[in-house]
Structure 1
Amino acid sequence: MTRLIPVAALALSACMPTSGTDVAERRAAALPNALPPMNTFAQARAPAPSRSNSSVAADFLDLSFQMESGRVIERMSRFEGPVTVAITGAVPASMSLDLDRLLARLRAEADIPISRVSSDASITIETMPRARMQRVVPQAACFVVPRVSSWAEFRRNRSGGTLDWTTLETRERVAVFIPSDVSPQEMRDCLHEEIAQALGPLNDLYRLSDSVFNDDNFNAVLTGFDMLILRAYYDAGLRSGMTRGDVAERLPAILSRLNPSGGSAVGGGRGSVTPRPWISAIETALGPGSSDAARVQAAERAVRLARQQNWNDTRTAFAYFALGRLTLSRDVEASIEAFQQASGIFDRVAPGGIQSAHVDMQLAAFALSSGQVEEALALTARAMPAATRAQNASLLSTLLMIRAEALDDAGRPSEARSVRLDSLAWGRYGFGGQAAVGARLTEVAALSPRR
């Protein structure tokens, strides 16, 4: 429901924005006089989830009948009938195209009758400068609320129960608020997450490795799992007002029909619950308002709690990933060890996934800075396919920048120039304007020992 702004990284991180102040004495990398045209991803259909329908059923129920805060949702709510979407405010061309592509995917993959209109819509997207939005909701990168269709309505109804999702029986009007002055990728990510929650489940589950319904923010484009969840959410066998028990009774047959490769879904019990202390530790580690030392301690606490739970999933790996990022400027050996721990788990539970690509980017940056050119090239080559499949241009751009520096260091300047130009084209989508692209290029260039 609310896409939070991740804490600024202490060093390279394509998953989160960076402060750009972590390398002393850095020398600006040279940008061409004009950046190459912006690269964008082609429309793609996500593959169906590979796990069992019984697992999907448990996730469906936990996503649909609980808020992120832990509050229980007694009755399911959704739009009944065709859904319309309108967008107001400053609308960049890339955002308009990304919205059209998202709606086309929702029609084709989730079988939702959803279309774009000029006004009076079921879902109204309003854009505005980030600073204006954050004066009211400081930590939100973007968010969605029910029963209103504009920023003015949202401001008038902030007190009272109007915006309480748990009181809905049927969804009729929903507003999505997205900043207009961020990168094309960040606007697209907000569209995917907030429209998905405007339509369907309102919870996020850290245990999900293949979903945007997860606050780890690794997946930012709706996955095959997400489309299956939304398709089931709008199946004719369900309706607004149903209780958890009602839905659990019908869900096995629905999933068996929609996802025959998932086998027969027996029951719809609960998946592995994520304890609130672990969530609080992660929020402290990656959120604002805490000192660097407190964030590191929180990440260490998250790792301990995950190990105490005997989790062998992405939650333990994410805790290690957070610890690795937060110790980058304090203890390089500890940081590398944490990233390697995260890598081992991610490779086991989500092989070839976007999570491993993020870790490989960090390890490639270490390899580049220590003169291990061939290792940097191998790690970037391994990570780029996953970044492309996940349509993560900022990660892909950073990987290409690291690769270009490694090629230069290896004495292959013509290849480096070609790869660097490609990185800039992806950077325009992933990071935004020339200044942001140049800042990332300079940050990566400073890693090379020859600089």
Structure 2
Amino acid sequence: MHVRARSVGLLCLLLAACAEPPAPAPVPVEPVHPKARPADLVPPPPSAASVALSGYYAGVQKSLLAQGLLRTDGGGPDTPWDDRILADNFLRIAFRDEYRRGAEGFTAGETPTTMRRWQKPVRVGLIFGPSVPAADRALERARIGSYLARLQTLTGHSIALADHEVNFNIFIVNEDERRAMGPVIAQAAPNLSPAEVAAVQNLPKETYCLVYATTDRTGAYSSAFALIREEHPTLLSLACLHEEISQGLGLQNDSPQARPSIFNDDEEFALLTDMDQQMLGMLYDPRLSPGMTEEQARPIVQVLAAERIGGGA
């Protein structure tokens, strides 16, 4: 889903409410541009809360798979779509926010918004908590780098991992580390209020992952950060990475009408679908621009969808 007011957005996956575990003792999180971590450094033991979350998310993934959800096939004969469906879903996802920001924080309520995307190159930095072993860090860098290369091909926009001049940070941390990283969150998203920073620190377990993005006055993104839980099993982690990075590029909403798509809270698809790939390409087409309204973009979007699909799925 997507939450935004003024220049800040929040996108995340949610299910339902739960009681919060007690806050653990502070655990240091590496800075936004960390130095290489020695390969032989043993990660600290996780807290009971983190261990419990690992079991919880393993159960969530198992349950979703048993229901035929978290699909990785990109869509098939059971999910037909054409250029009209593509255009309609693009307008729903790129020109609406699922949440609105008010005095009490973010509340549910889909609202129209202007189109947002990056104009400058996207430079992605990975920030790991001490809980992530060196071997897992190397694996994450490889798979995230591969996904970013795919997104660059789909959008035609420069997107890559970087160690310098980073404007899109991805934090991979466990429960203990996230609860201790208030100053790091405030640094990565200075437009968040103290209460909103605290909300990120105190996420309920049903919030799988999130991404905040900041825009400039033109509607172009200037910075973003995503948060991925270290406790996730492999497929759930990949699902978070696929959705949060893509939403952080400008496909900002979720809709129950979007199918086949990861931009839908029903968890049917874990990874980017064929239709999602087309929407990413449309988002960065030069005939569209940040700040456009849905009304301004609609006739262009219909042309783009017809060009890509030719009237058939």
Answering whether residue 164 of structure 2 is matched by residue 119 of structure 1, we say: yes
Q: Flag the 1:17–1:81 CA change in 2: closer, same or farther, 3 A.
A: same
Question: d(CA) in 1 for partners of 2:62 and 2:141?
Answer: 24
Question: d(CA) in 2 for partners of 1:240 and 1:4?
Answer: 28
Write the letter of the residue equivalent to 2:286.
Answer: A
Shift of 1:6: 7.0
Question: d(CA) in 2 for partners of 1:5 and 1:126?
Answer: 21
Question: d(CA) in 2 for partners of 1:58 and 1:252?
Answer: 8
Larger Rg: 1
Question: d(CA) in 2 for partners of 1:218 and 1:249?
Answer: 30
Answering whether residue 166 of structure 2 is matched by residue 136 of structure 1, we say: no
Q: What is the aligned partner in structure 2 of residue 429 from structure 1?
A: none
Aligned residues: 221
Shift of 1:13: 6.7
Shift of 1:246: 1.1
Q: Secondary structure at the match of 1:85?
A: strand
Which one of the candidate residues 45, 55, 58 is aligned to 2:88? 58
Write the letter of the residue equivalent to 1:248.
Answer: R
Contact 2:115 2:250 in 1 (8 A): no
Question: d(CA) in 1 for partners of 2:170 and 2:284?
Answer: 21
Contact 2:96 2:114 in 1 (8 A): no
Match runs of 1:29-44 below 5 Å? none
Q: What is the aligned partner in structure 1 of residue 264 from structure 2?
A: 214
Write the letter of the residue equivalent to 1:53.
Answer: D
Match runs of 1:210-289 below 5 Å? 210-260=260-310, 262=312
Q: Which sits farther off after the overlay, 179-188 or 218-227?
A: 179-188
Q: Flag the 1:169–1:4 CA change in 2: closer, same or farther, 3 A.
A: same
Shift of 1:99: 0.5
Which one of the candidate residues 179, 189, 212 is aligned to 1:145? 212
TM-score, normalising length from structure 1? 0.44
Question: d(CA) in 2 for partners of 1:122 and 1:141?
Answer: 22
Contact 2:157 2:284 in 1 (8 A): yes
Question: d(CA) in 2 for partners of 1:45 and 1:108?
Answer: 17
Q: Flag the 1:12–1:187 CA change in 2: closer, same or farther, 3 A.
A: closer
Answering whether residue 117 of structure 2 is matched by residue 78 of structure 1, we say: yes
TM-score, normalising length from structure 2? 0.61
Which one of the candidate residues 239, 262, 267 is aligned to 1:189? 239
Contact 2:89 2:257 in 1 (8 A): no
Q: Secondary structure at the match of 1:95?
A: helix
Contact 1:72 1:166 in 2 (8 A): no
Contact 2:61 2:233 in 1 (8 A): no
Q: What is the aligned partner in structure 2 of residue 3 from structure 1?
A: 13
> Among the aligned pairs, what percent are the same residue?
24
- Higher RCO (Cα < 8 Å, 6 or more apart): 2
Answering whether residue 253 of structure 2 is matched by residue 203 of structure 1, we say: yes
Question: d(CA) in 2 for partners of 1:219 and 1:167?
Answer: 34
Contact 2:216 2:222 in 1 (8 A): no
Q: For structure 2, list consecutive stretches of 5 or more residues without a partner in the other structure.
A: 1-10, 18-55, 67-71, 99-107, 180-199
Q: Flag the 1:12–1:246 CA change in 2: closer, same or farther, 3 A.
A: closer
Q: Secondary structure at the match of 2:163?
A: coil
Q: Over residues 56-94 of structure 1, what are the superposed CA-to-partner deviations in whole Å (9 max), with x where a residue is unaligned?
A: 111111112222233423311110132221111246233
Structure (1/2) with the larger strand percentage: 2
Structure (1/2) with the larger helix percentage: 1
Q: Flag the 1:107–1:188 CA change in 2: closer, same or farther, 3 A.
A: same
Write the letter of the residue equivalent to 1:56.
Answer: L
Q: Secondary structure at the match of 1:70?
A: strand
Q: Secondary structure at the match of 1:173?
A: strand
Question: d(CA) in 2 for partners of 1:55 and 1:166?
Answer: 31
Q: Secondary structure at the match of 2:265?
A: coil
